[in-house]
């Protein structure tokens, strides 16, 4: 008999959006796997250092180095490379060396991912779909990376082509709302009102929303109303709008 709450399903991972902006990430290795890791980390605005002999670099990693997108150390890994690191990613064809790096990271309490060795990973990389601010990750918890990629492509194929732009516009509106209603006790009302906007407006309408539309729409926040985009623009054309919160 099922209980009143969700049943626990062990064996999963805690999937998070890990903010690594300006964090120092060490990448050991310079092959194809390292290239993919570097892209993921740079997209998250981290500061990346690559440690690998020059002869071990593939073309993409060499390009990142030449373009000064990452810092580079031309040699094999040394324990001192961990100094100041917030995260470590290894992608080398040397299981013994990889295990040693993981042990050192564990001792220093530095989260690490040892490519292709799930037991020696504090976190996994999933298959990610990216559309502007939208990120969708599919993880098989290290069981089947290729299947994760297949599932991710199926999910992405079913998404509207303008979903990324719509989310971006919602983000701008949300920031504007926080400026005009910054009080902490406004939090529940802000969330409720933004939920109404997302539910009542189509993706096309969200994408079409201009800065003026947003400012006019914010004028309906106090009474908790969310008029149609047509009504918002009618108010603008009538000249009734004179700044947020004046309704």
CA distances from 232 to 23, 193, 244 (A): 43, 16, 12
247 assigned to some structural domain? no
Residue 91 lies in a domain: yes
In this prediction, residues 88-110 reach a mean pLDDT of 95
Number of domains in the chain: 3
In this structure, the answer to whether residues 96 and 182 fall within a common structural domain is: no
Judge whether residue 73 has pLDDT over 90: yes
Q: How are beta strands 134-138 and 127-131 bridged, if at all?
A: antiparallel
Closest CA to 15 of 141, 116, 102, 112: 141
Task: For residues 22-50, give the mean pLDDT.
Answer: 96
pLDDT of residue 141: 84
Q: Is 119 in the same domain as 130?
A: no
Residue 3 included in any domain:
no
> For residue 242, is pLDDT > 90?
no
Catalytic residue among 71, 116, 185, 238: 116
- To the nearest 5 percent, what fractions of the chain are helix, strand and coil? 45, 15, 40
Segment 153-191, tens digit of pLDDT? 999 999 999 999 999 999 999 999 999 999 999 999 999
Q: Can you give the CATH number for the domain in which 103 is found?
A: 3.40.50.720
Mean pLDDT confidence for 45-66: 97
| Same domain flag for 132 and 175 | no
Please name the residues in contact with 121: beta carbons below 8 A apart, sequence gap of 6 or more: 112, 113, 114, 142
3-state secondary structure at position 135: strand
> Do 84 and 97 sit in the same domain of this protein?
yes
Q: Are 71 and 7 in contact (CB under 8 A)?
A: no
Report the predicted TM-score, pTM, of the whole model to 2 decimal places: 0.79
Q: Range of 117's domain? A: 24-125
Residue 125 has pLDDT above 90, yes or no: no
Asked whether residue 241 carries a pLDDT value surpassing 60, the answer given is no
CATH number of the domain within which 155 lies: 3.30.160
Token digits for 214? 């947003």
Mean pLDDT (the chain, rounded): 92
In a domain, 12, yes or no: no
Asked about 204 being catalytic, the answer comes back as no
Q: Are residues 214 and 187 in the same domain?
A: yes
**pLDDT on residue 240:** 54
Q: In this predicted model, what pLDDT tens digit does every residue of 5-33 receive, in sequence order? A: 988 889 888 888 899 999 999 999 999 99
Domain stop point among 78, 106, 125:
125
Last residue of a domain, one of 125, 146, 174: 125
- The per-residue pLDDT for 239 is 66
């Amino acid at each position: 008999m099922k209980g009143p709450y969700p049943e626990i399903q062990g064996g999963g991972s805690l999937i998070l959006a890990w903010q690594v902006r300006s964090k120092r990430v060490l990448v050991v290795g310079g092959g194809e796997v390292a290239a993919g890791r570097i892209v993921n980390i740079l997209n998250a605005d981290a500061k990346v250092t690559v440690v690998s002999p020059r002869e071990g670099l593939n073309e993409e990693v060499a390009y990142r180095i030449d373009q000064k997108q990452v810092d580079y150390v031309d040699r094999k890994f040394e324990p001192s490379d961990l100094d100041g690191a917030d995260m470590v990613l290894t992608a080398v064809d040397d299981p013994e060396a990889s295990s040693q790096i993981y042990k050192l990271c564990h001792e220093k309490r530095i989260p690490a991912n040892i490519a292709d060795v799930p037991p020696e990973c504090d976190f996994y990389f999933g298959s990610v779909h990216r559309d502007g601010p939208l990120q969708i990750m599919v993880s098989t918890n290290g069981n089947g990376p290729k299947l994760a990629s297949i599932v991710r492509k199926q999910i992405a194929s079913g998404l509207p082509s303008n979903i990324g732009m719509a989310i971006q516009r919602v983000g701008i509106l949300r920031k504007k709302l926080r400026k005009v209603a910054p009080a902490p006790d406004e939090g529940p009302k802000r969330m409720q009102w933004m939920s109404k906007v997302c539910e009542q407006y189509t993706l096309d309408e969200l994408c079409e929303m201009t800065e003026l539309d947003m400012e006019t729409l914010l004028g309906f926040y106090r009474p908790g109303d969310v008029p149609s985009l047509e009504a918002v623009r009618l108010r603008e054309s009538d000249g009734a709008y004179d700044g947020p919160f004046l309704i």
